[in-house]
Amino acid sequence: MEPVTSKRVAVTVNGALHERDVEARRLLVHFLRDDLDLTGTHVGCDTGNCGACTVIVDGKAVKSCMLLAVQLDGATIETIESLASDGELHPLQQAFSDHHALQCGYCTPGMLMSAKHLLDHNAEPTENEIRRAIQGNICRCTGYVNIVEAIAAAAKGEVSA
């Protein structure tokens, strides 16, 4: 085996298989945004702190700016674009709207994916567990107050129709 500077990768993103040649140096977030046009995943920092680029890879929340696309060959990825189905908002999305858990909306996709990862693994989180789950997602608008409330409400199924 010899190292390569670009490689063909096959990834399943939101249920669809994509095959692309990609440079080894390309970050997953740029692969999603620039190559696959999935622009719901955002970039807010360049050090893996802000979590705006959070997606779920093989069931785990990760920061897509902290992975190379070539590492994902064969992986299954869920992005914000997969959350609503058939025009119906996911309960978390509805709860975020109900509770005014977003202002500018830039951190929201990453925040929602972290919240989904939490609820996928813990159906009844405590407030502290919610805060720990979104510790890796920076929001500069809300002070997190309404985000925490929204996630708690979604967990309890208390969302508006």
Partner 1 sequence: MSETTATTAAPEQVEAPQKGFAGQSIPRKEDKRLVQGEGVFFDDVKRHGMGYVHFVRSPYAHAGIVSIDVSAAEAMEGVYGTLIGEEVAAQTDPFFEMSTPPGNEIRDYALAVGKVRFAGEPVAAVVAETRELARDAAELVEVEYEPLEPVLDAVAAVEPDAPVLHDEAGSNVVWSGTFDWGDYDQALAEADRVVKIDRLYFHRFSSTPLECAGALVEYDRGTAQWTLHCNHQMPGIGIVWMAPALRVGSDKLRIVTQDIGGGFGNKITLHPYFVALCLLARKLNRPVHWTEWRTDQHTANTHGNERTFLDVEVPVKADGTMLGYKVRAFDDAGAFPRYEPLGCIIWAQVTPGCYRWRHVRVDFTQACTNKSPTAPNRGYSRMQQLWFTERVIDVVASELGLDPVEVRKRNYIRSDEMPYETPNGCVYDSGDYARCLDIALDLVGYDRLEERRRDAESRGKLLGLGIGSTLDSGTNNFGQSQLLNPELQFSGNNEVASVRLDIFGEIVVTLGTTPQGQSHETVAAQVVADLLGVTPDDVHVRAGHDSYWNSHAGFSGTYASQFAVTGLEAVKGATLALADQIRRLAAVILGAEGPDAIVLEEGFAKVRDNPEAALPFMACGAIINVNNAGLPPELDDVTLNCRYVYRPPFQVPDTERKFGNLTLTYATQIHACVVEVDRETGVYEIVDYAAVDDCGTRIHPQIVEGQVHGATAHALGAATFETFPYDEDGMLQTSNFYDYHVPHALDMPPLKTGYIESPSPFSSLGTKGMGEGGGAGIHAVCAALQDALRPLGNPVVTESHNPYHRVWELMRDPEASRAGVEVAAAR
Partner 2 sequence: MLLSEVGYARPAAVDEAVRLLADHDGARPLAGGQTILNVMKARAAAPDVLVDLADLEELRTIASTGDGGLAIGAMVTSAELVTSSEVKAARPVLGDVAAQIADVQVRNRGTIGGNVCSNDPTNHLPPVLVAVGATMTIAGPDGERDVPADQFFLGVYMTAVGPGELLTRITLPPLAGARDGFSSVTIGADGTCIVNAAATVQDVEARVVLGCVAATPVLLNAQAEADAVREAVRSADIEPPADVHGSAEYRRHLAEVVAVRAVAEAAGAS
Query: What residue ranges bind partner 2 (CB under 8 A)?
Result: 1-5, 7, 23-27, 43, 46-48, 51, 54, 60-63, 65-68, 70-71, 73, 114, 117-118, 132-133, 135-137
Query: Considering the rule CB under 8 A, would residue 96 count as an interface residue with partner 1?
Result: yes
Segment (H or E) for 77: strand 76-78
75 closest CA partner among 12, 27, 33 = 12
The entry of partner 1, partner 2, none that residue 71 binds, CB within 5 to 8 Å by partner kind: partner 2
Report the residue from 31, 77, 91, 106 that binds partner 1 according to the rule CB under 8 A. 106
- Decide whether 11 or 93 has the Cβ nearer to partner 1: 93
Q: How far apart are CA 70 and CA 9, in angstroms?
A: 6
The DSSP letter of residue 81 is: G
Query: Considering the rule CB under 8 A, would residue 85 count as an interface residue with partner 1?
Result: no
Q: How far apart are CA 74 and CA 18, in angstroms?
A: 10
Residue 154 CB, nearest approach to partner 2 (Å): 17
Q: How far apart are CA 58 and CA 156, in angstroms?
A: 25
- Decide whether 100 or 132 has the Cβ nearer to partner 2: 132
Tokens representing residue 127 in the block: 């407030």
